[in-house]
Amino acid sequence: MQKLPLEVIELIKLALREDQAFNDPTTSALIDPSLEVSGQLIAKQEGIISGIEVFIATFAYIDSDIVFDRTLHDGDQVINGQSIIDFHGSASSILRGERTALNFIQRMSGIASETNKYVKLVEDLKATIVDTRKTAPGHRYLDKYSVMMGGGSNHRFNLSDGILIKDNHLVVLKKIGLDNRDAVIQAVNRSSHTINVEIEVESIEEVETALSAGAQIIMLDNMDVNTMSEAVSLIDGKAVVEASGGINLNTVRSVAETGVDLISVGSLTHSVQGLDLSLDIQN
**Whole-angstrom distance, CA of residue 84 vs CA of residue 42:** 6
Predicted confidence (pLDDT) at residue 126 exceeds the cutoff of 90: yes
143 is catalytic: no
134 is catalytic: yes
Q: Which one of the listed residues 114, 200, 206, 261 is annotated catalytic?
A: 200
Predicted confidence (pLDDT) at residue 2 exceeds the cutoff of 90: no
Q: Which one of the listed residues 44, 117, 134, 253 is annotated catalytic?
A: 134
Q: Do the Cβ atoms of 267 and 248 come closer than 8 Å?
A: yes
**Whole-angstrom distance, CA of residue 109 vs CA of residue 114:** 8
Predicted confidence (pLDDT) at residue 107 exceeds the cutoff of 50: yes
Q: Do the Cβ atoms of 192 and 161 come closer than 8 Å?
A: no
pLDDT tens per residue, range 149-187? 999 999 999 999 999 999 999 999 999 999 999 999 999
Q: Which one of the listed residues 17, 166, 190, 238 is annotated catalytic?
A: 166
Longest CA–CA separation in the chain, Å: 72
62 CA to centre of own chain? 27
Amino acid found at 268: L
117 is catalytic: no
166 is catalytic: yes
126 is catalytic: no
Predicted confidence (pLDDT) at residue 214 exceeds the cutoff of 80: yes
Q: Crossing angle, helix 6-18 and helix 140-149, to 10 degrees?
A: 110
| Residue ranges of domains in the chain, CATH in brackets | 6-112+273-281 (3.90.1170.20), 119-270 (3.20.20.70)
Q: What percent of the chain has pLDDT over 70?
A: 99
Q: What percent of the chain has pLDDT over 90?
A: 98
The predicted structure's pLDDT at residue 1: 44
